[in-house]
Structure 1
């Protein structure tokens, strides 16, 4: 694959290498011990930091992520530096170097191996789906117990996020999906019950979706963008992937069957509650204004909320 050919679907607006202040570029090139001769911004993901595939004058190709520490999204880059740096070989991309704001003059930086590949398509019967699920299975095994000291319980991080139905139930919404409107109070009543089965020692990605994966040319999938310092039950990451299997063409039953060999909660109602939590989060978040530099996030959340409703209708049997 030619260096200029790999381009993902654009979902965020990122700064070009050439638009960065000269002092910022000089620091990076000192750390690279080479000059950047080509930088291709990668438009995938939903944060507006630097994310570019670099070609250097010594022939190397690397991937660079970075963000000014003063930016509102900077904490995600701080977390990604911490998490990616402790991942076992084969779980995530190899770290070449990283830097915190104190040493770099105010930026978080993460320089990684450049991985030629494509975003996997998680369609029914697709080899990509099998490879992606194999990567999730391997990650769950290698990240239990968590290799990250100080990883926080998953419920502490996202418990306050997955309360969307409770928030929406206090509002008058004429455009709410009719099925969700009929069952709004019931969804609000169960959306936090997943937390009872969330404790565990597995380092979790939390944001598993196809554009946070790359299918290598040799036929394996690597999970990228490890942006959260959290741990919990091993069933959570496979469950996060279910709506994206639905978005890529699986029925809800097919999506659940695809991950059935991966860890599952002991109580099936825990999974139903988690689906409710995800759906409510996406439904509520999709109604907010787009954050600066991320104009496509809300449209993504609209689609994700629809997939979560499909999953919920399957799991609850509610008409």
Structure 2
């Protein structure tokens, strides 16, 4: 059983893959309607697909397709894409790496910081100029705080252990589903919350963010506002979708806010 979702999907990808011989579904990371490593006549491919229904989910996949040519210095190569009546599918190279580790004592964090610095160096391409960062706007105190999140830096905005792959001689940042243009400190800030959730103290987490070039030049008031907005965002998510990982992220964000505002 090759575990492809339906005959239409198989027909769409066949010109690029040839006959499929084996399918391996990932253990985590189900932001798309279908994701798998496909072993086929023409090679191996990491395949992501979304139902071709207008909306935010499909837009996340088309944004990943559109930004892919410009992030090749940090991301796996997009080898092909296809739009069909029922599916939109992307086929990426399969990278030889493992999910990064954010726990205290890990040796992966220098590579993670280097990856974030490399993202910050990528010029914002024309296709992304209109992708203004607004995702945290609903959680700020006022419009002037939201303006602190605007900027001219290309952002990934979903930094977490599963999206940073560590290889023997290279690190990749994968899953570019939510790229935007905004303040450069935002990607390091999302790293801070992830590190706290993984067991770091807020001070330890920020000691890694400080190594990111965009953090060094950020206005502390902007970081404070972002910390509060992030806490409110995760609090809302945890109330509406009370899964354990969302509650853990809310706890981490609340701890960060306490550190930023009270030094504790």
1:74 matched to 2:58? The reply is: yes
Which residue of 205, 210, 219 corresponds with 1:267? 219
Evaluate the alpha carbon distance shift between residue 223 and residue 312 of structure 1 in structure 2; reply closer, same or farther with a 3 A threshold. same
3-state SS in 2 of match to 1:287: helix
- Mark the runs of 5 or more structure 1 residues left unpaired by the alignment: 1-15, 164-188, 291-297
3-state SS in 1 of match to 2:59: helix
CA contact (8 A) 2:32 2:49 kept: no
Q: CA RMSD in A?
A: 2.3
Partner of residue 63, structure 1: 46
| CA distance in structure 1 between the partners assigned to 2:25 and 2:110 by the alignment | 29
Query: How many residues matched?
Result: 261
After TM superposition, the structure 1 = structure 2 runs for residues 1-319 of structure 1, keeping only pairs within 5 Å, are 18-32=3-17, 34-58=18-42, 60-70=43-53, 73-87=57-71, 89-100=72-83, 104-141=84-121, 143-146=122-125, 148-155=127-134, 157-160=135-138, 162=139, 189=141, 194-216=145-167, 218-262=168-212, 263-264=214-215, 266-289=218-241, 298-317=243-262
CA contact (8 A) 1:36 1:55 kept: yes
| CA distance in structure 2 between the partners assigned to 1:304 and 1:274 by the alignment | 14
3-state SS in 2 of match to 1:152: coil
Q: Which has the higher contact order (CA 8 A, sep 6+)?
A: 1
Q: Structure 2 length normalisation: TM-score?
A: 0.89
Evaluate the alpha carbon distance shift between residue 318 and residue 258 of structure 1 in structure 2; reply closer, same or farther with a 3 A threshold. closer
3-state SS in 1 of match to 2:118: helix
Partner of residue 295, structure 1: none
CA contact (8 A) 1:146 1:201 kept: no
CA contact (8 A) 1:148 1:203 kept: no
Larger Rg: 1
Evaluate the alpha carbon distance shift between residue 222 and residue 312 of structure 1 in structure 2; reply closer, same or farther with a 3 A threshold. same
Evaluate the alpha carbon distance shift between residue 85 and residue 110 of structure 1 in structure 2; reply closer, same or farther with a 3 A threshold. farther
CA contact (8 A) 2:52 2:85 kept: no
How far is 1:257 from its partner? 0.8
